[in-house]
Amino acid sequence: MKAAVYTQYGAPEVLQVKQWAKPVPKHNEVLIKIHATAVNSGDCRLRRADPFAVRFIFGLFKPSKPILGGVLSGTVEAVGADVQAFRPGDEVFGATNLHFGAYAEYICLPDNAPITLKPSNLTHAEAAALPFGGNTAWHYLQKANIQPGQKVLIYGASGAVGSAAVQIARALGAEVTGVCSTANVDMVRALGATHVIDYTRTDFSKNFGQYDVVYETVNKASVSACSAALKKGGTLLLGAAMMREMLQGAWAGRRASQKVVFGVASELPENIKALAQLAEKGQLSAAIDRSFSLDQIADAHRYVDGGHKKGNVVVVVG
């Protein structure tokens, strides 16, 4: 099979499309023929080992998992002897957890991995674009226990996570305000945001104490600005925080009597199923910026590294 392989950390050019051994499913695994995957910020950080601590988990001197790719949509080709939940021919989508390996024509995953049947109203490209941003957004918004009528602000509303968060928060009954750049205002409004703030023109933190929930999805707004926009007792979601922002958030939350949530978003089968249900109801769709072929994987990474993508960048595998 073809796979995009990297054997050293670095620029997008370290990704090389090569022939690789096709995997064989174990007794509890499903073999999936991948039709589409996506490039997200996590893939790019692993590729360049940013932050350096990545090396202590995924290989100090070279990557221990040579095939990246954490999301997919495809067709089950074969199943192991003990698999009951899936059968050959099922169209599925989801995430690979820490298995990665979706930058390839085939992958084997355990039958209890965060995968589920693909909604029939989504193409494979659209389905592959949902799990990264959708799962992260779902994880954090569930932590906020959003109630109908609450005011929720999403910072970075045009990104993969933010675009999903706008739609999910609205589906939960919130009044959503999205924050983005001038070029993305119309997009965020079309996703369902009731209000859109162009951060190049307006400081959202001036809406002092207005929001029940502030969800910072891209680690570009200051913790103090996010906290200032929250009501007393509100919830601050720091979805992309590094250690510095985590410490700042913990201090700000204690000082302002606010709940602060940060950390890694769990990829769970029930989360992917929840996304599928929202998609089937027409409440969640994939925002796709550009599509590339597997042979163009380095170009796809280069585009995501630029930091200006709108929604998701899809890779069509087959």
- Give the DSSP letter string of 110-127: ETTSSEEEPPTTS-HHHH
pTM of the model: 0.92
CATH class held by domain 132-261: alpha beta
Tell me what pLDDT residue 122 has: 96
Tell me what pLDDT residue 256 has: 84
Residue with tokens 């200006």: 308
For residue 179, which amino acid is it? V
Q: Give the chain's residues under pLDDT 50.
A: none
Tell me what pLDDT residue 97 has: 87
CB atoms within 10 A of CB 220: 13
CB atoms within 10 A of CB 303: 18
Strands 259-261 and 230-238: parallel
Tell me what pLDDT residue 66 has: 97
- Residue 45 CA to residue 132 CA, distance in Å, equals 14
Domain 2-130+286-316: give its CATH architecture: Alpha-Beta Complex (3.90)
Region label for 94, one of left (φ > 0), alpha (ψ between -120 and 50) or beta (otherwise): left
The CATH 3.90.180.10 domain(s) of the chain lie at: 2-130+286-316
Tell me what pLDDT residue 201 has: 96
The CATH 3.40.50.720 domain(s) of the chain lie at: 132-261
Tell me what pLDDT residue 98 has: 84
Tell me what pLDDT residue 257 has: 87
Q: Name the residue among 62, 58, 73, 67 with its Cα closest to residue 23.
A: 67
